[in-house]
């Protein structure tokens, strides 16, 4: 196999170790604190902005809005806006979002289960 076709094969999959690979941006969005919490929260179904903000306690409106825009831009969630007063906006996961949420939830579960051991291992 020649070099150009090997490169093409790699770029179809993505190469997170390559400095300019777009997968790094998606990884950053999915693994950010708020990205993880949004993905896990939406595994349970469609939620409105205010419901997401309550679930992800401590997130500012601005940061939540930015996180939602990033995840939507990555194709992981869908934003539905209804033309009513007051505005009604709902968020739900796409098929890719469901898959990503499953993986980050498994990591979050592992952290929660291992928290005592992790805390002890971090002691000086």
Q: Report mean pLDDT in 10-residue bins for the chain, 124 residues.
A: 54 83 93 98 96 96 98 97 91 98 97 95 92
pLDDT for the residue 8? 56
In a domain, 90, yes or no: yes
Instruction: Take residue 112 and report the two structure tokens written for it.
Output: 């929660």
Range of the domain at 35: 15-122
In a domain, 44, yes or no: yes
In a domain, 98, yes or no: yes
DSSP letter (8 states) at residue 108: H
Question: Please, where are the H alpha helices in the chain?
Answer: 3-13, 23-31, 33-42, 49-55, 61-73, 95-122
Q: How many domains, the chain? A: 1
In a domain, 32, yes or no: yes
β-strand partners of 78:
92
pLDDT for the residue 12? 73
In a domain, 10, yes or no: no
In a domain, 58, yes or no: yes
Positive or negative, the CA dihedral 47, 113, 111, 30 is negative
Q: Do 40 and 104 touch, CB atoms closer than 8 A?
A: yes
pLDDT for the residue 1? 46
In a domain, 9, yes or no: no
CATH number of the domain where residue 33 is located = 1.10.10.10
Measuring CA to CA, which residue among 26, 37, 15, 23 is closest to residue 104?
Answer: 37
In a domain, 5, yes or no: no
């Amino acid at each position: 196999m020649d070099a150009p076709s090997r490169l093409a094969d790699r770029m179809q999959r993505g190469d997170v170790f390559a400095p300019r690979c777009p997968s790094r941006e998606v990884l950053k969005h999915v693994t950010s604190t708020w990205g993880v919490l949004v993905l896990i929260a939406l595994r349970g179904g469609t939620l409105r902005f205010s419901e997401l903000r309550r679930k992800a306690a401590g997130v500012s409106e601005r940061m939540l809005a930015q996180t939602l825009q990033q995840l939507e831009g990555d194709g992981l969630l869908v934003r539905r806006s209804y033309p009513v007063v007051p505005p009604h906006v709902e968020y739900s996961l796409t098929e890719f979002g469901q898959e990503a949420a499953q993986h980050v939830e498994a990591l979050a579960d592992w952290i929660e289960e291992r928290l005592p051991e992790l805390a002890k291992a971090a002691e000086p």
